[in-house]
Chains A and B, each alone.
Chain A
Amino acid sequence: MLKVNNIKYKYKNENKENIYNFSLEAKCAEVVGILGASGNGKSTLLDLISGFLSSISGDITYNDQDITDLAPEKRPITILFQNYNLFEHLNVEKNILLGIESKNKQEDIKKTYKILSEIGLKGYEKKIASSLSGGEQQRVALARALLRNKPILLLDEPFTGLDFDTREHMLHLVKTITKTKQICTIMVTHEPNDCKKIANKIYEVKNGKLTLL
């Protein structure tokens, strides 16, 4: 279980000092939705959980192990950002392989082909990332996230801008993966419908605090 306990973060906005104070819990095989308007600190919360920002107090634990001071690359976390999930000049296969700490390259390539087939991107292995549509790029990023085998998946508005069908497909994929792989998924979005469709519980960010809805 992922626990965020009173994580505090201070920032300046228009010469005014503001403080975020976040607490939440996410169980395995559970999707937690975070709702809120732009600028309310949704992405800051994910940056704190993933280690891109340092908090001034509080702690983050995963299965009772403190991960607050770990560098982002050492946390048991994989993330899907809203954009720039792929290196646009590299092909799909290379983009996926770059995210895997390899022990057996041939095995990794096999897994890459298999996962691409599973998410409906068979035959895309050698395509350059920049030639893919937004939805395809996000699916590749999701495929990589799955192969990384990290127990926590963070989604930072990853489906914004996708067409209705692709969005529905991606949401379904996230829900299924969370269950089958028994991972904790935290999804930040400003779309209440997305949350309603897949989240087991929903928090709202308001005035720098999380409220369970």
Chain B
Amino acid sequence: MLKQYSRFRGSLIPGLLVSVFLLILAFAIFFTLFDATGANKSTFLTLSPRVIGLLKFTIFQATLSTILSIIIGIILAWSLAHQSRFFARSLLIALFSSSLVLPTIIVVFGLITILGRNGWLNHLSLYLFNHTFEGFLYGLSGILIAHVYLNASYAARALLHSFEAIPKQRYKLAKSLGFSVFKRFILIEWPAIKQSVLSIASVVFLLTFTSFAIVLILGGNPSYNTLEVAIYEAVKLDFDISLALELAFLQLGISVILVFFSSNLKTNISNVKMQSLFIPWAEPLFVRFLQITIIFVSCVFFILPLIAIVFDGINADFIRILKSTIFIKSFSTSVIIASISSIITVVFTLFLSNARRNFALKSRISQSKVGKIIEFMISFSGSLYLAIPSLVLGLGFFLLSQKFIAPHLFWASFALLSANVLMSLPFSISVIYPSMLKTATRYDKLCFSLNISGFKRWIYCEWPFLKESIGYAIALSFCLSLGDLGIISLFGNQDFSTLPWYLYGLMGSYQNNDAAGVALILLGLTLSVFIFVPKIFAKENFVKG
């Protein structure tokens, strides 16, 4: 057995080192949080009525958001799967894919522009019916709308994959047996998507349970606070670290349970291309009308806030914005942190995946108890940070910064960089690991028999097949890092700011014109990176000379 481990040490050691580092860091953060509870440890789990209230609302809004997102996601994915040929379909699907990386503050800004007190809808309603919607966007309704905006599009994109994976023969069978559309859905489509629905629902619940920016801005008043926002307020506004810790542990405990049930992220965000479902007979006219209407209404709902950002943004005074020192600082901090963190994320992902695949293939390290433990450790360390909400992670770094005194710039940069890497890692792994495993399954024997290893193997065998996934993972990590408003809310100040934090400040001080300009820049930057970076990596593979 040792011989096998020694044979693959080149891929095992870097992955194991990264894995151990991640576990030590998680332990250090957990220990710091636990240590900070001080003398309160015994009374720690006695939940006060306020905490129970926060917990109830957090679960309530997450449950409602999940149910709505999943229902809309299924209906939209079903419509898109059956309407496989219409103008700009692929653009619409690409837009849904980007919902995962759109900075939440951008979405909130777009929704406020459309549905806010001074929004387009209110103006139209006043003009046509002399009726105002006032502040319906602030409170539970606003939270639900924003969550549905982000998560229904994500669910639709992921479920479309499941719909399109249904073999055409089953549709032929349904047609030959004369199934109605409803019967076809119940007997053919639902069984095929059921598993994905459960998995996606648990992911959406996790995302909405730990949602921060949306609740912070649209929550309106303390009765609509979630655990995540309450942690922020306890640290930044009330300076009540004890309460923050209590909330953090509660949040952490529930997130761990949720992550346990939502382990299947792989199919949901992978960049694997798929065949669109094309059934060579038309749907009944009424059904077609229904599907087209659903797609049209969804387009309006999902695209309008982005159009609003563009329309509002182009009127901004860009010269003034671009000359502003705070903007330049925020922009460069955002880009530098996102660039470095996306590179580190991908390097960590490659090390972890390369080590992990040694245990997944029969031709490498044969299965043993020790092997299973090591494989679990590597896999666990990579997905562990899904279970640690950003504000809890931020609180850990915040307490560390209080313990080990260093310049604010150091701690803020370190916390932001580390948190972005740790939080992007599970997503990056779910993109890269399947590709790495596929390449090894296909070419391992050939490489071993031809003695192609190390750098030579990477150049000729790994890179050509991984570069597309690597490009996608870099773009994904960059955008996730760019849009984060969680950690920066604990570390941000006049001297240290990022674009989302700067935008939040502008919105808070009602500098709407500048906010619109910054929102447009942030949106443009996010979409450009998300669209063009994977394209750069996806160039032709062929080596002719």
Which residues of A74-122 have CB atoms within 8 Å of chain B's CB atoms?
Answer: 74, 77-79, 81, 84-85, 87, 89-91, 94, 98-99, 101
B28 interface residue, CB < 8 Å from A? no
A16 interface residue, CB < 8 Å from B? no
15 contacts between A and B (CB under 8 A): A47-B363, A54-B366, A69-B3, A71-B7, A72-B445, A74-B451, A87-B443, A87-B460, A89-B543, A90-B542, A90-B543, A91-B545, A99-B450, A126-B544, A126-B545
Q: By the criterion CB–CB under 8 Å, are A54 and B452 in contact?
A: no
B130 interface residue, CB < 8 Å from A? no
The smallest beta-carbon distance between B223 and chain A, in angstroms, is 55
Chain B 504-545, CB-CB to A under 8 Å as 1, else 0, gives 000000000000000000000000000000000000011111
A128 interface residue, CB < 8 Å from B? yes
Question: Nearest B residue to A94 by beta-carbon distance?
Answer: B543
The smallest beta-carbon distance between A128 and chain B, in angstroms, is 5
Known: A54-B4, A89-B541. A73 touches B448 (CB 8 A): yes
Q: By the criterion CB–CB under 8 Å, are A84 and B442 in contact?
A: yes
Q: By the criterion CB–CB under 8 Å, are B450 and A98 in contact?
A: yes
Which residues of B438-455 have CB atoms within 8 Å of chain A's CB atoms?
Answer: 442-443, 445-446, 448-453
Which residues of B478-525 have CB atoms within 8 Å of chain A's CB atoms?
Answer: none
**Chain A residues within 8 Å of chain B by Cβ, number:** 29
How many angstroms between the C-alpha atoms of A162 and B236 in the bound complex?
A: 71
Question: Nearest A residue to B447 by beta-carbon distance?
Answer: A73
Known: A79-B445, A81-B446, A101-B451. A87 touches B7 (CB 8 A): no
Known: A87-B443, A94-B543. A71 touches B448 (CB 8 A): yes
Question: Nearest A residue to B367 by beta-carbon distance?
Answer: A12
Q: By the criterion CB–CB under 8 Å, are A73 and B453 in contact?
A: yes
A137 interface residue, CB < 8 Å from B? no
List of A residues within 8 angstroms of B292 by Cβ: none
List of A residues within 8 angstroms of B543 by Cβ: 89-91, 94
How many angstroms between the C-alpha atoms of A156 and B428 in the bound complex?
A: 37
List of B residues within 8 angstroms of A98 by Cβ: 450, 452, 456, 460
List of B residues within 8 angstroms of A90 by Cβ: 460, 542-543
10 closest cross-chain pairs (CB), A and B: A73-B451, A89-B541, A72-B448, A52-B363, A99-B450, A79-B449, A89-B464, A90-B543, A128-B542, A84-B442
A19 interface residue, CB < 8 Å from B? no
Q: By the criterion CB–CB under 8 Å, are B443 and A89 in contact?
A: no
Question: Nearest A residue to B457 by beta-carbon distance?
Answer: A98
A50 interface residue, CB < 8 Å from B? yes
List of B residues within 8 angstroms of A73 by Cβ: 448-451, 453
How many angstroms between the C-alpha atoms of A139 and B544 in the bound complex?
A: 19
A53 interface residue, CB < 8 Å from B? yes
B362 interface residue, CB < 8 Å from A? yes
How many angstroms between the C-alpha atoms of A72 and B3 in the bound complex?
A: 13
Residues of A within 8 A of B (CB): 47, 50-54, 69, 71-74, 77-79, 81, 84-85, 87, 89-91, 94, 98-99, 101, 126, 128, 144, 148
List of A residues within 8 angstroms of B446 by Cβ: 81, 84-85, 87
Question: Nearest A residue to B365 by beta-carbon distance?
Answer: A54
List of B residues within 8 angstroms of A148 by Cβ: 450
Q: By the criterion CB–CB under 8 Å, are B451 and A52 in contact?
A: no
Choose among B3, B363, B451, B542 the residue that contacts A89 (Cβ–Cβ < 8 A): B542
Q: By the criterion CB–CB under 8 Å, are A128 and B449 in contact?
A: no
B193 interface residue, CB < 8 Å from A? no
Other A-B contacts than A91-B545, A144-B450, 16 sampled, CB-CB below 8 A, are: A50-B445, A50-B449, A52-B363, A53-B362, A71-B448, A73-B448, A73-B453, A78-B449, A84-B443, A84-B445, A85-B446, A87-B460, A90-B542, A91-B544, A94-B543, A126-B545
How many angstroms between the C-alpha atoms of A77 and B451 in the bound complex?
A: 11
The smallest beta-carbon distance between B9 and chain A, in angstroms, is 12
Q: By the criterion CB–CB under 8 Å, are B544 and A52 in contact?
A: no
B23 interface residue, CB < 8 Å from A? no
List of A residues within 8 angstroms of B51 by Cβ: none
Known: A84-B442, A87-B443, A89-B542. A52 touches B448 (CB 8 A): yes
List of B residues within 8 angstroms of A144 by Cβ: 450
Question: Nearest B residue to A69 by beta-carbon distance?
Answer: B3
How many angstroms between the C-alpha atoms of A135 and B330 in the bound complex?
A: 60
List of A residues within 8 angstroms of B442 by Cβ: 84
How many angstroms between the C-alpha atoms of A44 and B3 in the bound complex?
A: 21
Question: Nearest A residue to B452 by beta-carbon distance?
Answer: A98
Which residues of B269-326 have CB atoms within 8 Å of chain A's CB atoms?
Answer: none
B461 interface residue, CB < 8 Å from A? yes
Question: Nearest B residue to A77 by beta-carbon distance?
Answer: B449
The smallest beta-carbon distance between B5 and chain A, in angstroms, is 12
Question: Nearest B residue to A93 by beta-carbon distance?
Answer: B545
How many angstroms between the C-alpha atoms of A84 and B452 in the bound complex?
A: 15
How many angstroms between the C-alpha atoms of A128 and B542 in the bound complex?
A: 7
The smallest beta-carbon distance between B157 and chain A, in angstroms, is 29
How many angstroms between the C-alpha atoms of A155 and B541 in the bound complex?
A: 29
The smallest beta-carbon distance between A45 and chain B, in angstroms, is 14
